[in-house]
Amino acid sequence: MQIRGMFITFEGPDGAGKTTQIGLLSQYLSRRGMAVVTTREPGGTPLGDDIRRILLDVKYKGMDPRAETLLYLAARAQHAATVIRPALAEGRIILSDRFADSTLAYQGAARALAAAEVAAANEFATAGLIPDLTILLDGDPAELQTRRQRRGAGDRIEAEAIAFHRRVRTGFLQLAGKEPDRFRIINALDSVETINSQIVCYIDEFLHRREKQ
């Protein structure tokens, strides 16, 4: 079975389990005969991977928020143009670990940059590309921080103070509140199996609606 291209993003705070859930969903869709592309931001391209290393390196802890934003946008522009749009044109399903909503939450809400300016920059970088569906894995920042600490030393973003991560969470929830048709919110602190089951239900429901259009 193959349907027209579809763009699904996974958003949420660091440590929410996005990578794990993308892997499980990719397996599920592949078993149904669908062509799936898994990718991530920042990254997904050679340029994006190089930018990712800069953005997450703890030695750049004092990076200016605007410089940080522009680096994310450069990686996203390359990603959208060379990975996401071509895959959509081929009828594939793209599962992306983060996209434009992350910049609105992290740099807009948490870094206190003007939301309208960040949104306009996102639109420019993506040429107006918007996900068909966004899975938001939400959880208490303190509990997610404990989960991250069990994994070992964090990157530059993960090492931010808990107040920063609370602002990120607030930013994501505000975005979801503004676009309820696109977002599906799931408790990131549930078991891996429970989260996967909820995601599969949302995806099946979404695919069913798409098939009827």
Q: Which residues are annotated as a binding site for ATP?
A: 12-19
- Is residue 16 within 8 A of residue 138, CB to CB? The reply is yes
Annotation: binding site: 12-19
Tell me which residue has tokens 């434009």: 100
Using an 8 Å Cβ cutoff, are 114 and 23 in contact?
Answer: no
Confirm if 107 and 68 have CB atoms less than 8 A apart. yes
**Which helix (H) or strand (E) segment is 9 a member of?**
strand 6-11
Length of the chain: 213
Q: Please, what is the end-to-end C-alpha distance for the chain in angstroms?
A: 16
